[in-house]
Amino acid sequence: MSTLTALARARAARGGRAVPITAVRHVHVSDEPLVVIPLMQAGEAAAPLAVMAGTDRDAPTLLVVAQPRNRDQRFEFLTAFAELLVPYIDARRQHTETVEATKNHEEWERCTDAPQLILPNPGGVEALRLLGRSARFRTVDGPYPVDARVPLLGRYLTWFADDRAPMPGSSVCLALTSVLAQHWATGQSALEDQHLPALLSWIDPPDGMSGAAAALLAEDPDAVPPAGPATDPAFDTGVLAPLVRAQEEARAADDMRAVAKAEEELRAALAAQLEPTWETVWRGIDVLRAMPAAASDELRWQVDRGRFTDFMTGIEDGAPPQPKRPSAVAAARRLADLESAQQSYDRTQAIDDPLVLARYRVGGEAFAGRITFVDAERQEIKGKRAWPRPLVVMQTQDEVILRPGVKLASPARVNQTVRLLAVRPAEAGGFEVELELQSGMGRGKTPEAGSVPAVGEERCYATFLAEQRGTRPELPDADQTPWTHGGPPWPHVARAEDQAEEWR
């Protein structure tokens, strides 16, 4: 937690309302997201109890498993879930756009849209990951056949929850509590921020009530059911267990009327648990939509659309399901991708958002001030050529703790490298900083117009903006994996034991 975020939490606790810690929205919110609220049976991994999902706020779809431990009913539920999810995904791949060829990539077609799943919290994302893991290796024949849409659903859920959800900057699978906590600081702990109704109560409390008081009321499970995927233990023992038992007893007695009645009561009880969360999630989406989007939002969404296009192309080309465990090379590439994405996401957030940049200023990694002197004609002689090295002096009230020689860059000109020459106390207070511009001025003997800041301009310089972006490490091909890392992976061959449920 940064110093500014800690201060914002203290202000929120004193003022009784969440404090914004960003000026813009750093995630993409689709025009038609698919809200998914899963409930899982306690005591068994990947045992779905119910899902409420849909793109229409006023018309959610409720899917229920009458007996979550019954494998047949579980996969009937997954078939129904696939009937809901697959058409939504297919609709996003109907239209494409041509992306022109670059030095590193030939011309290709990219989907003009991508699906977006919004879940209440990270637990909901994990529930989808487990469902995807349990479904993607199922087969349509053999001793335990399933509908052809079930393994496809498993691959989709794995892509959303296991591939894209952990990727910094991706918006195709969002946990709402994490997104809201990224943009607001509340007067409660980070752990308490994972309770969606309480978090939203701090951000958007009812009229005449403080966020703290509203959050306290929202934490009462009798008044506001949990947002899942776990259910309240009192609901499990007092409501759910008797209804499941009544349904099983009626089925054992072959009393179909009693079975239908018990299942209808179960649906009503689960709907009562899910409907408040459904409305809360949509209220959170409204809060996010009210924020202006960051300048880099569309570029990040383009990346998501490209990854979605690649994934769907792989399925069409007959690629096998995602493996249970990645190979050594695939795991190393995945880690490199995560690190590179995090670096890029941090960088673009700071460029787009002055409040994010302020955290770096307080931490000593950046400073801002006014330009007081410019020597645009200053040069450096190297060999027989003179290189432009303009001198810029700025005055700042920020405490500059950086050492001379460090490389800097400004959000105003990210591709221009600047070297810190000297820092000294200013007579009027604060610090006077000497800077040398080293690049981003054209190839001529004199700097291009507009490449050198003018006296009186306000500028900010930061160390992390000048850091070299992470490059993919040199890794061997998969078939050249050394024995120290398990050797080359075996080629994929579908086997019956792939369907075994190994939860470890």
Asked if 316 and 367 sit in the same domain, the reply is no
Joined together, the tokens standing for residue 219 give 């934490």
Asked if 306 and 419 sit in the same domain, the reply is no
- DSSP one-letter code for 231: P
Q: Is the dihedral of CA 255, 260, 263, 265 positive or negative?
A: negative
In this model, does residue 421 exceed pLDDT 50?
A: yes
Cα dihedral 129, 133, 139, 143 in deg (nearest 10): -120
Phi-psi label, residue 206: left if phi above 0, alpha if psi -120 to 50, beta otherwise:
beta
Joined together, the tokens standing for residue 106 give 């030939």
Joined together, the tokens standing for residue 283 give 């209220």
In a domain, 339, yes or no: no
**Residue corresponding to tokens 């009192």:** 234
pLDDT-derived band at 504 (thresholds 50, 70, 90) equals very low
Please give the full DSSP string across 341-383, using - where no structure is assigned. Answer: HHHHHHHHHHHH-HHHHHHHHHTTSEEEEEEEEEETT-EEEET
In a domain, 493, yes or no: no
**Distance between CA atoms of 442 and 449, rounded to whole angstroms?**
9
Asked if 319 and 360 sit in the same domain, the reply is no
In a domain, 503, yes or no: no
Highest mean pLDDT among 90-104, 236-250, 268-282: 268-282
Q: What is the pLDDT of residue 162?
A: 94
First to last CA, the chain: 32
The residue among 118, 205, 195 whose CA lies nearest residue 164 is 118
Query: What are the counts of helices (DSSP H) followed by strands (DSSP E) for the chain?
Result: 13, 17
pLDDT-derived band at 255 (thresholds 50, 70, 90) equals confident
Q: Which amino acid makes up residue 92?
A: R
Asked if 302 and 359 sit in the same domain, the reply is no
| Residue 77 vs residues 82, 115, 131, 401: alpha-carbon distances, Å | 9, 21, 11, 59
**Distance between CA atoms of 228 and 498, rounded to whole angstroms?**
29
**Residues 6+ away with beta carbon under 8 Å from 153:** 78, 81, 82, 85, 86, 132, 135
Considering only 158-162, 221-225, 389-393, which range has the smallest mean pLDDT?
Answer: 221-225
Asked if 282 and 367 sit in the same domain, the reply is no
- DSSP one-letter code for 257: H
Is residue 67 within 8 Å of 73, Cβ to Cβ?
Answer: yes
Asked if 283 and 198 sit in the same domain, the reply is yes
Asked if 408 and 306 sit in the same domain, the reply is no
Asked if 54 and 97 sit in the same domain, the reply is yes
Asked if 292 and 368 sit in the same domain, the reply is no
In a domain, 260, yes or no: yes
pLDDT-derived band at 485 (thresholds 50, 70, 90) equals low
Joined together, the tokens standing for residue 379 give 């040069």
Mean pLDDT over 289-308 rounds to: 96
Domain range enclosing 286 = 3-324
Cis amide linkage into residue 229, ω under 30° from 0: yes
In a domain, 336, yes or no: no
In a domain, 486, yes or no: no
In a domain, 380, yes or no: yes
pLDDT-derived band at 369 (thresholds 50, 70, 90) equals very high
Q: Which of 305, 324, 343 is the last residue of a domain?
A: 324
Joined together, the tokens standing for residue 382 give 């190297």
Report the Cα 442 to chain-centroid distance in Å: 38
In this model, does residue 503 exceed pLDDT 60?
A: no
Asked if 368 and 291 sit in the same domain, the reply is no
Q: Phi and psi at residue 151, in whole multiples of 5°?
A: -65, -30
Asked if 167 and 274 sit in the same domain, the reply is yes
Q: Helix 196-203 crosses helix 256-289 at what angle (to 10 degrees)?
A: 30
The residue among 163, 159, 169, 178 whose CA lies nearest residue 92 is 159
pLDDT digits (tens, 9 = 90+) for 89-142: 999 999 988 888 887 778 888 999 999 999 999 999 999 999 999 899 888 887
| Residue 338 vs residues 169, 352, 466: alpha-carbon distances, Å | 10, 21, 20
**Residues 6+ away with beta carbon under 8 Å from 405:** 419, 420
Asked if 413 and 310 sit in the same domain, the reply is no
Q: What is the CATH number of the domain that holds 368?
A: 2.40.30
Number of domains forming the structure of the chain = 2
